[in-house]
Amino acid sequence: MNAVTDLDTLIQNLEPRILPATYVFCSLEDADYGALSHTSPLASFAEPEGLTLVLTRESADQEGLAYEGAFRCISLQVHSSLEAVGLTAAVTGELAANDISANVIAGYHHDHIFVPSHQAEPALRLLETMSSRR
């Protein structure tokens, strides 16, 4: 399937799904990429301040890692192009209008939105409604 760039088509086909795990964001000062790979992080990002890992809360707790907040991941099933314009703004704007913070990570095939755990179900319903309005 080809990646979609048309914003209306993307929103009509969001098909948001909540992943089962609870995730946390951890920062490891002076860590190199690949550190704690045995925890199977969902994502990692090297920043000047340290290596950010997005991993399950269970893995972070087992490793004794510090974190703030717990998040659920809503994965958009539409195959969005990395060059698509406006999808992140539309999704995060809808959530922001309802006082839900969103941290977005774009994968090659899909976008993934991390929302506070206690707001995951309302966020999912908002995205489903948003998709059905188009």
Q: Are 31 and 45 in contact (CB under 8 A)?
A: no
Neighbouring CB atoms inside 10 A of 62's CB total: 11
Task: Check which CATH number belongs to the domain holding 95 and give it.
Answer: 3.30.2130.10
Domain span at residue 29 reads: 7-133
Q: Identify whether 2 is part of a domain.
A: no
Total count of domains within the chain:
1
The angle that helices 87-96 and 120-133 make with each other, rounded to 10 degrees, is 120
What's the confidence (pLDDT) of residue 7?
87
Structure tokens at 17: 């799904």
What's the confidence (pLDDT) of residue 98?
97
Taking only the tens place, the pLDDT of each residue in 28-84 is 998 888 889 999 999 999 999 999 999 999 999 999 999 999 999 999 999 998 889
Residue 134 has pLDDT above 70, yes or no: no
Q: Are 92 and 86 in contact (CB under 8 A)?
A: no
What's the confidence (pLDDT) of residue 1?
63
Taking only the tens place, the pLDDT of each residue in 85-115 is 999 999 999 999 999 999 999 999 999 999 9
pTM: 0.92
Q: Identify whether 70 is part of a domain.
A: yes
Taking only the tens place, the pLDDT of each residue in 117-130 is 999 999 999 999 99
Average pLDDT score, the chain: 94
CA distances from 22 to 86, 97, 109, 118, 126 (A): 27, 24, 22, 11, 20
